[in-house]
């Protein structure tokens, strides 16, 4: 069968890029090339407008007033929760807890769930490629409870050692907490296998989806995970808003983790009773602007379609991988067979931090450093890497500029 040549990218990039005011900027006199989407993605006008409209027309405190504005704000806020439910295909909005972000979502589980479920000698299984946000909360929980961390190794490609993972599940395993997609390496984790093996032993699974939701369709029912955490700002939404999905039965059995307004039903000095899910976990006035902005971001992303986004990002990844591999002295760190659209790399004789500065002078924003994944750096024996992470609004021409700047860096350090 003849394959028709592709004449145009599957997305109308010019039109889409026009949706992002910040992308029109020049940096150091050059058109901005934003390749730090893994750290935080840019917001389209639809999100910025939704945030502003809420402030200009609908803001009041939620769940508290009989007045019109409070009702509007509550409707919008709860509408955002329903939007998130639909985005994740959760069964119920009771399973959608708004948090400040991935970090807070994981800490919530570590403290609330961990506080009542972990005993001395119990084990939490994580992987070697976790972000610090999925390591440190568990270390803290271990300190409080006497539980232990078990770390599943990865291989030189940056893939999880599945056999080692299965072998690490034992009598004392209480929870598996793993990334869905690695932020430092791009590895898409074998979440089906991870969940299936844990499920077979009745062990709940938390997935850190911070780097997954912008790139692939997440269906928590299909995944069959118990907790799923992500941040709004990596999904083209606002900062300071994130989500914890939790299986209702688990959330129901967990104690509150912060006390205050909104999370109670009754308060007396003899004791208090807790509100229903998900409010039990949302003490205090929530980030309404953020939640509404996040819902707008989900509308925006679904308007394009995550499948089309994923397809274009995959093309960008392949293009960038080929071009970068051809740069003399450059080594790609993280060569998983299933990878999201980011490339971590190091270059002989040029430290990542210098690359970051040199690229910045060309208007190119990349991340350099340990990417909050110091164990990954240790594993690959590098002090740091440079990371270009792509969004659907990036172009091949931008990758060409990245590659040209890298050649320049090499010449300079020759």
Partner 1 sequence: MDLKDLYRDVILDHNKRPRNFGTLPPPAHEARGHNPLCGDQLTVYVELDGDVIRDLRFEGKGCAISVASASLMSEAVKGRSRADANALYEQVHDLLTRQDAPSPPSLGKLAALQGVREFPARVKCASLCWHTLNAALEGGVAPVSTE
Ligand X SMILES: Cc1ncc(COP(=O)(O)O)c(C=O)c1O
Burial of residue 295 (number of CB atoms within 10 Å: 0-12, 13-18, 19+): buried
For the question of residue 372 being annotated catalytic, the response is: yes
Provide, rounded to whole angstroms, the least separation between the CB of residue 333 and ligand X.
Answer: 16
Q: Which of 169, 177, 207, 210 binds ligand X (CB under 6 A)?
A: 210
Binders in 213-232 for ligand X, by CB under 6 A: 231
The yes or no reply on residue 211 touching ligand X (CB under 6 A) is yes
The residues in 159-198 that bind ligand X, with binding defined as CB under 6 A, are 179, 183
Least Cα distance to 127 among 170, 182, 201 occurs for 182
Q: What is the DSSP string of 77-118?
A: HHHHHHHHHHHHT-S-GGGEEEESSHHHHHHHIIIIIHHHH-
183 lies in the site for partner 1, by CB under 8 A = no
298: helix, coil or strand?
Answer: helix
* Structure tokens belonging to residue 84: 């998130």
Q: Which helix (H) or strand (E) holds 342?
A: strand 342-347
Q: Show Cβ contacts of residue 307 under 8 Å, excluding neighbours closer than 6 positions.
A: 217
Stretch that binds partner 1, among 100-108, 187-195, 237-245, 376-384 (CB under 8 A): 376-384
Main-chain phi, psi angles of 75, to 5 degrees: -60, -45
Binding at 370: pick from partner 1, ligand X, none (beta carbon under 5-8 Å per type): partner 1
In degrees and rounded to multiples of 5, residue 91 shows phi and psi of -70, -35
Please identify, using beta-carbon distances, which residue of 122 and 208 lies nearer to ligand X: 208
* CA 387/CA 346 separation, integer angstroms: 9
List the one residue from 263, 384, 391, 406 that touches partner 1 (CB under 8 A).
384
Residue count at the site for ligand X (CB under 6 A)?
A: 13
Q: How big is the chain, counted in residues?
A: 414
Q: How many helices (H) and strands (E) does the chain have?
A: 15, 17
In this structure, the strands spanning 173-179 and 26-27 are: unpaired
At its nearest, how many Å lie between ligand X and the CB of residue 102?
4
Binding flag, residue 377, partner 1 (CB under 8 A): yes
133 binds, among partner 1, ligand X, none (CB under 5 to 8 A by kind): ligand X
Nearest approach in angstroms of CB 56 to ligand X is 27
Residue 55: how many CB atoms within 10 A of its CB?
A: 12
Binding segment for ligand X (CB under 6 A), chosen from 128-136, 283-291, 354-362, 399-407, is 128-136
Task: Using the rule CB under 6 A, give the single segment among 7-15, 52-60, 96-104, 265-273 that binds ligand X.
Answer: 96-104
- The CB-side HSE value for 248 (13 A sphere, CA atoms) comes to 9
- Say how many C-beta atoms besides its own lie within 10 A of residue 267's C-beta: 11
| Residue 5 vs 414, nearer CB to partner 1 | 414
Site for partner 1 in 93-132 (CB under 8 A): none
> Among residue numbers 357 through 386, which ones bind ligand X (CB under 6 A)?
372
Query: Which position among 13, 149, 164, 372 bears the catalytic label?
Result: 372
- Residue 383 C-beta: closest distance to partner 1, Å: 4
Among positions 12, 28, 55, 57, the unique one binding partner 1 when judged by CB under 8 A: 28
Question: Using CB under 8 A, which of the segments 59-67, 334-342, 369-377, 396-404 binds partner 1?
Answer: 369-377
Smallest distance, Å, CB 361 to partner 1? 5
- Binding region for partner 1 (CB under 8 A) out of 167-175, 222-230, 242-250, 345-353: 345-353
Interface residue with ligand X among 208, 313, 362, 398 (CB under 6 A) is 208
What's the closest the beta carbon of residue 381 comes to partner 1, in angstroms? Answer: 10
CA-CA distances (angstroms) from residue 81 to 75, 86, 100, 102, 203? 10, 9, 14, 16, 27
> Which one, of 211, 204, 303, lies nearest residue 250 by Cα?
204
Give the residues across from 208 on adjacent strands.
179, 229
Give me the residues that bind ligand X (CB under 6 A), please. Answer: 101-103, 131, 133-134, 179, 183, 208, 210-211, 231, 372
List the catalytic residues. Answer: 372
Give me the residues that bind partner 1 (CB under 8 A), please. Answer: 28, 349-354, 357-358, 361, 368-370, 377, 383-384, 412-413
């Amino acid at each position: 069968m003849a394959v028709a040549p592709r004449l145009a990218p599957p997305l109308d990039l010019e039109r889409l890029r026009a949706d992002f005011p910040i992308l029109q900027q020049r940096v150091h006199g050059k058109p901005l090339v934003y390749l730090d989407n893994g750290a935080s993605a840019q917001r389209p006008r639809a999100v910025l407008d939704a945030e502003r409209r809420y402030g200009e027309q609908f803001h009041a405190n939620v769940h508290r007033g009989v007045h019109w504005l409070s009702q509007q704000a509550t409707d919008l806020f709860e509408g955002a929760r329903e939007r998130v439910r639909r985005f994740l295909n959760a069964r119920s909005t009771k399973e959608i807890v708004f948090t400040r972000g991935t970090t807070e979502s994981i800490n919530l589980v570590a403290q609330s769930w961990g506080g009542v479920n972990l005993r001395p000698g119990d084990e939490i299984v994580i992987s070697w490629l976790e972000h610090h946000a999925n390591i440190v909360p568990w270390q803290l929980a271990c300190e409080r409870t006497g539980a232990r961390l078990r770390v599943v190794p990865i291989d030189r490609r940056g893939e999880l050692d599945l056999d080692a993972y299965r072998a690490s599940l034992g009598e004392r395993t209480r929870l598996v907490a793993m990334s869905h997609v690695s932020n430092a390496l791009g590895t898409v984790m074998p979440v089906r296998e991870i969940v299936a093996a844990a499920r077979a032993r009745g062990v709940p699974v938390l997935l850190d989806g911070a780097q997954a939701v912008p790139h692939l369709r997440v269906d928590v029912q299909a995944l069959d995970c118990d907790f799923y955490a992500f941040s709004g700002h990596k999904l083209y939404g606002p900062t300071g808003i994130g989500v914890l999905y939790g299986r209702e039965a688990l959330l129901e059995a967990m104690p509150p983790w912060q006390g205050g307004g909104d999370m109670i039903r009754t308060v007396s000095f003899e004791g208090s009773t807790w509100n229903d899910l998900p409010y039990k976990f949302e003490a205090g006035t929530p980030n309404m602007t953020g939640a509404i902005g996040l819902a707008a971001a989900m509308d925006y992303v679904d308007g394009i379609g995550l499948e089309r986004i994923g397809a274009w990002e995959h093309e960008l990844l392949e293009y960038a991988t080929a071009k970068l591999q051809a740069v003399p002295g450059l080594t790609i760190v993280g060569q998983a067979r299933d990878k999201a659209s980011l490339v971590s790399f190091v270059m002989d004789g040029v430290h990542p931090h210098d690359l970051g500065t040199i690229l910045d002078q060309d208007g190119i924003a990349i991340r350099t450093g340990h990417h909050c994944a110091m164990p990954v750096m240790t594993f690959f024996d590098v002090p740091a890497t440079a990371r270009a992470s792509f969004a659907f609004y990036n172009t091949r021409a931008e990758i060409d500029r990245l590659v040209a700047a890298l050649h320049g860096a090499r010449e300079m350090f020759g």
